[in-house]
Amino acid sequence: DTAVSQTPKYLVTQMGNDKSIKCEQNLGHDTMYWYKQDSKKFLKIMFSYNNKELIINETVPNRFSPKSPDKAHLNLHINSLELGDSAVYFCASSLQGYRTDTQYFGPGTRLTVL
Amino acid sequence: AQSVTQLDSQVPVFEEAPVELRCNYSSSVSVYLFWYVQYPNQGLQLLLKYLSGSTLVKGINGFEAEFNKSQTSFHLRKPSVHISDTAEYFCAVSERGGGSNYKLTFGKGTLLTVNP
């Protein structure tokens, strides 16, 4: 059983398109995250949700819109894709978003914008 | 904001040699530190974490790290590496992100390459 799963694993699309990435966790955690890993492997948080409520919203363009229909799911919708959006996007979850919590990561979605 | 610095972007070693991956943190207040590993084309997996208590932390796959407050360091070590340890290693600090939620702030990663 995969703890944190993401779909799709690969996404290739043209500039200007709109795309979504889905994430699901079966760990019973309250908190979920989206991270972006750039081509140099640098990881940076984008968003965090706690029990369907947006808690952390870093300086991310408003073309990126996360949605959490329930606490087990966190989706990421991206409008008007740009070349610079090409990256690997990781979903993660933790028990309650506390300082000491371990975050569990999904396998990642590699987005390529042409 | 807190930060971590990984001093080496790449560390090549031979199989069965010892290895140390270096990480320094910035905060002067209490810190919670993590080491994660990312195998090729996979997500991140926790190796170990320091929360409090003993400064020597043991993790999975034979890795350990030592928290050193005076040197603001949290270096990762393994006495004898295997080919399968080839991966990207990330040091991270937990810091407040919003409300009572915390986020991980990562270092830039160290690519460990184990050669036969």
What is chain B's mean pLDDT, rounded?
A: 93
Distance spanning both ends of chain A, measured CA to CA = 34
- Chain A hits for B106, Cβ within 8 Å: 42-44
Which of A40, A45, A102 minimises the CB distance to B97?
Answer: A45
* Count of pairs with CB atoms under 8 A, one residue in A, one in B: 71
Residue the block writes with tokens 């400064």 = B55
pLDDT in tens, chain A (114 residues): 679 999 999 999 999 999 999 999 999 999 999 999 999 999 999 999 998 888 888 878 999 999 999 999 999 999 999 999 999 999 999 999 898 899 999 999 999 999
Measured in whole angstroms, how far is the alpha carbon of residue B2 from the centre of its chain? 15
